[in-house]
Chains A and B, each alone.
Chain A
């Protein structure tokens, strides 16, 4: 069982939120002399307060406190130096950590850098595969377009975990691919438990999130626009570069957001396909919370992740200020 408990003020805060909610409903009913349409938005408001705002405050609270609840920045120091805790204890016991051979631990920072790099690669590959696919699907003259759309959607109806585990049976040492290889007289290959396998799993799972925003942007584009460009003397390549591509950028931005965000925080895929050799930041956070049972450090890591995501979103928002491609998420 967890040794952590909610700080009493969190419980109070939730109670206060509930009270405020009831008060607000009563006030609204009285002022409008009856039930107005705005009233129906209140349940969602309550949901937001209880399950989003309070937990966010809790993450902030845990990140800046130690187990006793006192203010500290040690959790962030632990992110920078995973041996920080051990060094502190050694110092308290009168040892010199450097002499004891306990140097700075790079694990946490390295995992973050690795995650960002993997997410970047995954986004890049998804964009490279997804844009042409979306282009085909949205092509009016390509009759298989609608079929292709369905083919992309069908795998999404299956459970995410199942899809990932399915890859295992393909890539395993005795999996389908290796069985096929040896049947053909070719040497077996080590396909699993490396970064490539993780990347494959990520691309497989996140590709639709790249394809569909781009497909939507292309599909709603008036086909007469590219006809107009050709009419004015632009060959197909120029037409694509000057009209089709710039008008689909909101979809691209949205696709990048939808792929990059879950990619950075990916967990489970590295564990299944990477076999523990390739821990990503999402796994690290999960491990810190559940295995190490350290909510303080876990919260600090989550907070760092959140700040990074907010920063990258702000950057993307600059490209697509109107949030046309739905990148308002």
Chain B
């Protein structure tokens, strides 16, 4: 991917409400035409970050740059940014046409131009002929499309989307995911998307920004964030995972659950405590005695594509995904190929405890 120019830059942005810190020292840049997702559990500060970019909240400290220009104090109506709000926020006293036309009417564009552009937008969101309808008569999915059309008609350089798919059912949500992606590529607009749904983030984004408690945990492509999570939190939040406390014997050799495993990571030092991440689908089930570990199957769940098995090996409880079912109580061997072992800096003990309490 070639380096695109940076469009939005957040520099040391912090936000406090009544002395409570909700954003701490956010540094983030967003390039032109990128699909960036802010991902995290509720209360992590992702929506606040979006609202600071939209101009609805003022950063307590730090700066927001847009195309190199400081827009920290610019009110929302002067920003080249438009928003799709969480519950759409369509104007109930206006019909579909008037809702979409709102931005152009405020800008006092000629009537004919407004009509043409609104028709174009209605076509873009597959709602041709709905102009005269009242917004209350539309389904959730249709209202969603109107909200997108209303935001896009101003031809913003950046579209902010605040959990726009949260209120839709699964099937509709998946359809809209593809459609949003299609629109973003077709129109060449930067999308900043807020969600707590990791699958949504993985499907749609060019870049995922994982947040927690007002801090950015990791920034990277979906693949990087999934394969190389920087902390146990990221690993747990994005996909399912087995996280085991281990010791890095030396580069490319790690010790956990009483066995040595070759791996591909280095640079953690010798005899250093680490967190080891193994994704459930990377855990190989082999006949008893053939793997480095031996375990007993505690439970089996059929998940459609695969079986999910809980396997106890020594003191550790593993989650494994496999298309081959092992019956409950069966003794199995467990192994992992070096490439699928991912070593992370250990989480501080206190934080790890908190993590467990909250789950």
Contacts and interface: CB of A to CB of B under 8 A. Distances in A.
Interface of A: 222, 224-225, 227-235, 238-239, 242-243, 246-247
Interface of B: 54-56, 75-77, 81-83, 85-87, 89-93, 102-103, 106-107, 150-151, 154
Contacts of B55: 230
A29 B322 CA distance: 67
A233 B89 contact: no
Given A233-B154, A235-B77, A228 B91 contact: yes
Contacts of B92: 225, 247
Contacts, number: 63
B54 A242 contact: no
B154 A232 contact: yes
Given A225-B89, A231-B56, 14 more contacts: A224-B86, A227-B83, A227-B85, A229-B91, A229-B102, A230-B77, A231-B151, A232-B102, A232-B150, A234-B77, A234-B102, A238-B106, A243-B91, A246-B93
Nearest to B79: A231
Given A233-B154, A243-B91, A228 B106 contact: no
B93 A224 contact: no
Nearest to B150: A232
23 contacts: A224-B85, A224-B87, A227-B56, A227-B83, A228-B90, A229-B102, A230-B55, A230-B56, A230-B76, A231-B77, A231-B83, A232-B77, A232-B102, A232-B151, A233-B103, A233-B107, A234-B77, A239-B77, A242-B102, A242-B106, A246-B93, A247-B91, A247-B92
Contacts of A238: 106
B106 A233 contact: yes
A228 B83 contact: yes
Interface of chain B: mostly helix, strand, loop or mixed: loop
Interface of chain A: mostly helix, strand, loop or mixed: helix
Contact of A231 (B54, B87, B90, B93): B54
Given A233-B103, A238-B106, A247-B92, A228 B77 contact: no
A221 to B, nearest CB: 9
B106 A234 contact: yes
A237 to B, nearest CB: 10
B106 A231 contact: no
A239 B89 CA distance: 14
A232 B85 contact: no
A-B complex: 7 closest residue pairs judged by Cβ atoms: A232-B103, A224-B89, A228-B89, A230-B76, A234-B106, A231-B83, A230-B77
A7 to B, nearest CB: 52
A238 B102 CA distance: 11
A228 B153 CA distance: 13
A246 B91 CA distance: 10
A231 B91 contact: no
A231 B81 CA distance: 7
Contacts of B102: 229, 232, 234, 242
A106 B346 CA distance: 95
A232 B56 contact: no
Contact of A233 (B54, B77, B93): B77
A222 B75 CA distance: 20
A247 B154 contact: no
A213 B102 CA distance: 28
A230 B75 contact: yes
B88 to A, nearest CB: 9
Nearest to B87: A224
Contacts of B151: 231-232
Nearest to B51: A227
Question: Among the interface residues B54, B81, B89, B93, which one has the most CB atoms of the partner chain A within 10 A?
Answer: B89
B35 to A, nearest CB: 20
Contacts of A227: 56, 76, 83, 85, 89
A319 to B, nearest CB: 13
